Each structure stands twice: as structure tokens, then as C-alpha cells.
Amino acid sequence: MSQLTISPSPHIHSKDSTTSLMRDVVIALLPAVICSFIFYGWREILVMGVSVASCVLLEWVITKYLLKKPSTIADLSAVVTGVLLGLNLPYTTPWWVVFIGAVVAIGVAKMTFGGIGQNIWNPALVGRVFLLVSFPTYMTTWKQPQGLFGLDAVSGPTPLGAIQEGLLSGASVQDLTAAYNYRDLLFANLGGSAGEVCALALLAGFVYLCIRKVIKPWITLSIFATVALTALIFWGVNPARFTGPVFNLLTGGLILGACFMATDYVTSPMSLWGGVIFGVGIGFLTMMIRYFGSYPEGVSFAILIMNSVVPLLNRWFHQKKFGRK
Amino acid sequence: MSKNTFSIGGVHPHDSKISRGCAIEQLPLAPTVYLQLSQHIGAPAKPIVAVGDKVKVGQPIAEPGGFVSAFIHSSVSGTVKSIAPRPDLAGIPQMCIEIAVEGDEWAPGIDLSDTLVTAIPEDNKAIVEKIRLAGVVGLGGATFPTHVKLSPPPGSKCEMIIINGCECEPYLTSDFRVLMEKGEQVVVGAAILSQVMGGVPCTIAIEVNKPEAIAHMEEVIGKLGYKGISVMPMKMRYPQGSEKQLIDAVMHRQVGSGALPISVGAVVQNVGTALAVYDAVQKNKPLVDNTLSVTGECFPRQANLLVRVGTPIKYIIDYLGGVPEDAVKVISGGPMMGKAIANLEASTLKGTSAILFLTAKQTLRAPESGCIRCGKCADACPMGLEPFLLQRLARANDMEALEQNAAQDCIECGCCLYSCPAHIPLLDIIRQAKGAVLGAIRARAAAAKAAAEAK
Ligand code: SF4
Ligand code: SF4
């Protein structure tokens, strides 16, 4: 010992760091990623690879050359954004479209706000929605997937897209949903972006994050509850026009959105009640967009809309302070 | 598993009680001791000896400088060498009485035998006076003069004494050792406190990571047979030993902002204080020594030592083999709230509970990164504050909002900084802001008082 270090208390720190939390999120997403690889084959690997690589590279370039600050890529948050963006895109997306998505996610939604912690909207979702609006053809058509091990997968539009089209042509929901078997929805996909492929893999990741205390379950659970309840009411009133709760829970990236996008620290409220209101808002808006909007899948929009309300929710809902009314 | 714990926040650092098996040893006398005049909360004591005076162990050498202040006794016998400023743990000069040790002669009237005296004197006033004359202060950290706590302001009523045996800070084991080795004395001390406060019930709170202590204290209470004393096993959680949190955990009452525990009917005393009360009342022995742990993974010679107040830290460390090679930080107290020692020549105080060595790997802070708004700091804050918000307001210097968001309620427990994944120095920033807010509140009160008097 040569010199004593003097610094204020506390003198020890928990093992948590931004990097360790983000690493946990990546670990939680792995089952779904692997599932999507098996399902969609090398083209999905390419989409994921391009997405993650461009997000990390862009963050590095922007911090180093534009902001001239120490690089933040070691915190792995760009990797998380990359994986989420990848999971949100169809496996058929051309690499340059993926890259544009990454530019919007990292370059616009994250770094222009000042980097990690400063952004209002979830970067991966901003990227996805931008692509959805700009390149609708790439984003909504799904071709017959060639699984990694030659697994059979189902072709056609996404379940929600198919039903919306079917309704326009006058068919009833019962006829349309009869084609889907819920076991398929839970274990394997019926067309859709990669992240929609395996509900169970996503849910396993969510449970992992809750057990590791990375996230708290309130937001996700209130989204699920609200979606189920709203769908139950509408479907109960008119089953020919509206899809039911189980169908709505299992399709359209709801699980991916509720477990991994709505729970993003930066863009969700911190307090318990703020989180519950946030979740209820997302669930309700999702269902309204699905039932009455022009996009079949409303989760992304619903989350982005509720992201905008977070600063207000954080102002209104505070922790209960010790010994104060 | 016990469910008793406080209601908001808290963290679970590894308890690292590696010195728990070390029985209390008596440290040999140092050649010189330095007794700081200000080693309690309140006004510094005033010296009543002069340079050259011969003193005995337990002889008062400084008297209280006000109501909230305490006597200081010589912890050794010898000659007063100087009364002069000397750098303290942090290197800041503090008035100290320097005494060169000669022999070990105790002042008359002090009972040094091991016999347990269980009969408690009847006159409560006399008891409190004895405690005052013995210079007893709270040994749980705040070093608040004990006789002041035992004289509640008119109109307030004590309903329960809580003896704080949580020792929730990692590494510390001195209270645990005292419970195990001097449990009888602690129980008699608790009984004295309970009698003084009007025969109120007394709860000894011990965390469940010390099952031997819980069992031992239950046995001792049964054996001694005082009424109304019980042990309450507590769930392990930091900062359970903080006064407000402990009252919440034991009595389910929350002390309001800026209020004293007595406002909810509670008086909290630490295990070491209960022992000091026993010594003062039953044995006539003033507070001249206390038990402290010397510990840390990198320190081979773990120990719990009975140390005379005013012993130089360096003397203690050298006795146990010197500062270990890989220690970068020496801390007085625990790792969560203790103070880093800048000056090893400084001496122990009445309230010194441990000397802890930490390595670079254990203690060095990672560089700060951006807040990711994870809310972990707010989840951890036992006062229900929002540290991320307070640090932002503090950096913006928004005093009004800081006060509204209760920066002044911060107990400086460090849970926020401990939890923050972005390694933001939350407490460092909040501590300063708290000081400024408290200053503003005090200035306002003073101005209001002056205005009222002017009328
Ligand atoms: S140090 Fe203050 S702000 Fe931080 S957790 Fe403790 S009480 Fe809360
Ligand atoms: S713990 Fe740190 S990163 Fe998380 S909200 Fe608090 S200040 Fe921000």
C-alpha cells in the first residue's frame, strides 16, 4: 500500500452496471433469436447481423466523430437496439433497408437526443415504424420461409394482416381465425416478423428478466391484461367483427412489444402506478389501432404514443416518501 | 425466516461478517492517547485539566459545552502533555487532549470486577445523571449524548425502547461479539433504560444472520427475568439499523421529516450504548473504551478489540500486523456509511465501530455514465426519495425543487449510489444539496424568529 484512497461513502457497489443489465436483456432475447434463426434460416441471420452490426457501428461513429465523446458501445445498449430492430423486421428485408432502420434508430431516435438515457422514444421502434411507413411492401409481405433445418413454416401474410384483408372482403372473423391453431401461435409462427415467431421463447426471456430483477413485471402484465380485457369485451359483443383475446395476445408482436420494448428503462415510467397506466394505455391503444386503424398491428404505434406521455407520468406519480403524507 | 423489516427501499449487500468468530481481545495500552474534545453530536466539551496534570483512568478531563454535549474522561492514567489541535481521521485539525500513558491506575469508585450487578437503583433521575456524568453517547454512529435522549421534551411520551442490534452494515461484528460475550450486561442496560423511560417495553432487534446472538439473548433474558424485554429477529436488509428505518420495522410507525423518534414514542439505543449504560449505572465506569472490529478480506489478522478511546489508529493496525499490501482504502466504520481515513495518526473516538481495509477491486468506483432511468436508485432509497431526480435538480441548482422533493430527508445511507448501474455519484451530489437545503431551512427559521421578536 502506498497511498490511501479517500472518497465519500458508500465504499462498495452492487454488481449491477449498465453493461450487465444490457447483457441480461441480450441473454433474455437469445431464445427468441435462436428460434427465429431456426425458423427463417440464413436470411434471418443476415437481417439480425446487419441490424446489430450497423447499430453498434453507427453509435461508435456518432460518438467518436460527431459528438467527440467517449464511446458508449461497451454498455451494450446499441446491441440491444440492434437485436430488437432485427426481431421486428421480416426475414426478407433487404440489408440496405435494415441499415436505414438502424440509422433511424441509433442516429435519429437515440443519438440526436443525447445518447443513452436521453431519448424519449424507443429507438428500435422508431426505426421499425419509419421502415413500416417508408417501405410498406418490404415490411408487410412474407414469403415462404426456408427454415435452417428445412422446417416447414407457414406462408402468407401475418395473421392480423390476413384477417384485416379478409374482413374487408366480407368474411367473418370466425371463418378467418379457424385457419389458426393456437398451439401453432404459441410454439411457432404463422408468418410475421422474426420476433413474433416464438411466443414461448419470448416469454421465457421475460421471466428471466423478472427473476434477475432487471425489469419489473407491472408494465408487461398490465398490457396483457388490458389487451385481453378489451378484446374480450369487443369479441363478446360482436364475435363476427372482432378477434378474441387469445388471438390478440399471441399475434402481431404483442409479446415482443410488451416484454421487451415497453419495458425499456429509458422510455417507460419509473413508478409503479405510472407503469401501470403506461401499460393500460399501450394495451388499449393497441386494440383500438388493430380494430379500427389502418395498420393491422398496433403495438409499435401504441408504445411510441405512450412513450411521449412518460415525462408527464414521471411528473405525476412519485414514490411514497418515508414519514410524509 | 423473519419478516420484520422497514417498509420502503433498502439493499442487500453481502454481509461479509468475516470477523464474527473472533472473540473480543483487550488491546494493550498505547504509549500516548489523544482524546478529541468533539466526539459527539452537539457542542464540543471544555477541558478541565491543564498541561502537566496527572490523570487516572475514568477521571473527567472535559465537561459538556452545552446541554447537547458530553463529558470526556481520561481513558488512561498518565500525564496531560498538551491540549492542542491535531488532525482527525479526515486530516482536519480538532482540539485534542494528549495524555502520555503511565501505568494503568483507575480513578477511585469504579467497580472493575466481573460480577454482574442486576439490582437496578430506584431513582431514575439519579440514573440519568450517572449516565450523563459517565459521558455515555450513542455508539451506533450518530454519537448523540444518551442522557439527552433519555430526557424527552415535555409533552412527549416514550412507549418503547428499541435496542439496535441489527448491525446491518457489512463487515461489522463488534455489536455481535458484545451480544455474545456481554449479553447479560446488555440486558441489564436495556432494563435500566426501560425503567428510566417509565417501565416501557424494550425490544432488542437482531438481524437473522446472527442466529446465535438471537438464541443467546433470548436465553439471557429468560435467565435474568426482567419484565417487558424481548428479542425481535429482523430480516436482513440494509439500512435496518438506521434509527427511522428500525422504528418503522419494529413499531410500524414512521418518524416525520425533521422530527425526532420520540415524536412517535420511540427511543433507540445501540447495543454498545446499552453496555455503556450498564457500566455507568451499575459499575460507576465512565465510557473510556469500546469494542471495534478490525477486518477486511485482505487483512489476515481479523479481530474484535476492546480499545481505549483516543488510541491512535496506526497503533491498532500495527499491533495486528500493519496495513495489508493490497489495501487501498482504510475506513472508519462500515463500507456503506463509514468514512475513509486520510490520516492513520488520528485516534479512535467513542463511536468508532470498525477499521476496515478494502482492496482496489472492492472499492474503486467505475466511471460515471449516463442515467438510463432504470429507477433502481429510487427503488433502493429507504426514505422514498428519487435520487436520479435530486441529482439532476442539484446539478441545476434548483433549491426550491430540491426542498419540495425532500432532499433534506436523505439519511446518507448510500443505497442509491450502491445500486446505480450507471455509477452516478448520486449521494455525493445529494449530500451537498441536502446541506444547502437544510441551511436554507435554518436560515428561514432564524429569519422568521427574528421577525417575530422584532414585533
Ligand atoms: S443516500 Fe439519501 S437519497 Fe440515497 S438512498 Fe439513502 S436516503 Fe435515499
Ligand atoms: S439508478 Fe442510476 S441510472 Fe438508474 S435511474 Fe437512478 S440515477 Fe439513473
Q: Report whether A271 contacts A317 (CB < 8 A).
A: yes
Co-location of A216 and A108 in the same domain: no
Residue-level pLDDT at A145: 53
Q: Tell me the nearest-neighbour CA distance from A200 into chain B, angstroms.
A: 26
Q: Pocket around ligand 2: residues whose beta carbon is below 6 Å from it?
A: B 371-377, 387-388, 419-422, 424, 426
Residues whose CB falls within 8 Å of the CB of residue B283, separated by 6 or more in sequence, listed in order:
B110, B111, B112, B117
Co-location of A199 and A111 in the same domain: no
Residue-level pLDDT at A151: 47
Q: What is the pLDDT of residues A157-180, one digit of tens each?
A: 555 655 555 555 555 555 555 555
Give this prediction's pTM.
0.88
Kindly report the protein residue whose alpha carbon is nearest to atom 4 of ligand 1.
B416
Count of the separate structural domains present in chain A: 2
Low-confidence residues in chain A, pLDDT < 70: 1-2, 140-197, 252, 296-297
CA of A4 to the centre of ligand 1 (A): 26
In a domain, A152, yes or no: no
The values of phi and psi at residue A72, to 5°, are -110, 10
Residue among A11, A12, A321 whose CB faces B340 most closely: A11
Co-location of A65 and A125 in the same domain: yes
| SS3 letters across chain A | CCCCCCCCCCCCCCCCCHHHHHHHHHHHHHHHHHHHHHHHCHHHHHHHHHHHHHHHHHHHHHHHHHCCCCCCHHHCHHHHHHHHHHHCCCCCCCHHHHHHHHHHHHHHHHHHHCCCCCCCCCHHHHHHHHHHHHCHHHHHCCCCCCCCCCCCCCCCCCHHHHHHHHHHCCCCHHHHHHCCCHHHHHHCCCCCCHHHCCHHHHHHHHHHHHHCCCCCCHHHHHHHHHHHHHHHHHHHHCCCCCCCHHHHHHCCCHHHHHHHHCCCCCCCCCCHHHHHHHHHHHHHHHHHHHHHCCCCCCHHHHHHHHHHHHHHHHHHCCCCCCCCC
Co-location of A134 and A245 in the same domain: no
In a domain, A240, yes or no: yes
Ligand in closest contact with the CA of B384: 1
ipTM: 0.86
Co-location of A112 and A181 in the same domain: no
Co-location of A121 and A238 in the same domain: no
Q: Report whether B162 contacts B156 (CB < 8 A).
A: no
Co-location of A51 and A134 in the same domain: yes
Partner A, chain B 423-452, Cβ-Cβ below 8 Å: 423, 427-428, 431
Co-location of A81 and A177 in the same domain: no
Q: Tell me the nearest-neighbour CA distance from B183 into chain A, angstroms.
A: 31
Q: How far is it, in rounded angstroms, from Cα B69 to Cα A183?
A: 75
Co-location of A130 and A196 in the same domain: no
Beta strands in B337-419 (DSSP E): 339-340, 354-359
Which atom in ligand 2 lies closest to the alpha carbon of residue B372?
3
Q: Examine the fold and report which residue of A90, A110, A139 is the final residue of a domain before the chain moves on.
A: A139
Co-location of A308 and A180 in the same domain: yes
- Are the beta carbons of A75 and B369 separated by less than 8 Å? yes
Partner A, chain B 298-337, Cβ-Cβ below 8 Å: 323-331, 335-337
Domain ranges across chain B: 1-28+118-364, 376-454
Task: Report the CATH number of the B1-28+118-364 domain.
Answer: 3.40.50.11540
Q: In what order do the strands lie in the sheet with B72-73?
A: B46-47, B60-63, B72-73
Co-location of A204 and A282 in the same domain: yes
Residue-level pLDDT at A66: 83
Co-location of A214 and A277 in the same domain: yes
Q: How far is it, in rounded angstroms, from Cα A66 to Cα A70?
A: 11
Q: What is the pLDDT of residues A102-123, one digit of tens each?
A: 999 998 888 888 777 788 899 9
Long-range contacts of A60-65 (CB under 8 A, 24+ apart): A62/A106, A62/A107, A62/A111, A63/A111, A63/A115
The whole domain housing A88 covers 42-139
Q: Report whether A65 contacts A37 (CB < 8 A).
A: no
Cα distances (angstroms) measured from residue B376 to each of A17, B121, B372, B401, B409: 11, 51, 10, 21, 19
Q: What is the pLDDT of residues B153-190, one digit of tens each?
A: 888 889 999 999 999 999 999 999 999 999 999 999 99
Q: Tell me the nearest-neighbour CA distance from A309 into chain B, angstroms.
A: 15
Each of the 455 residues of chain B gets a pLDDT tens digit; together they read 577 899 889 999 998 999 999 999 999 999 999 999 988 888 889 999 999 999 999 999 999 988 888 999 999 999 999 999 999 998 899 999 999 999 899 999 899 888 899 889 989 999 999 999 999 998 877 788 999 888 888 888 899 999 999 999 999 999 999 999 999 999 999 999 999 998 899 999 999 999 999 999 999 999 998 889 999 999 999 999 899 999 999 999 999 988 889 999 999 999 999 999 999 999 999 999 999 999 999 988 999 999 999 999 999 999 998 898 888 999 999 999 999 999 999 999 998 999 999 998 888 888 888 899 999 999 999 999 999 999 999 999 989 999 989 999 999 999 999 999 999 999 999 999 999 999 998 888 888 888 888 77
Residue-level pLDDT at A155: 47
The three-state secondary structure class of B3 is: coil
- List b or e across B259-274, with b for residues whose CB sees 16 or more CB atoms inside 10 angstroms: ebbbebbbbbbbbbbb
Q: How far is it, in rounded angstroms, from Cα A121 to Cα A118?
A: 9
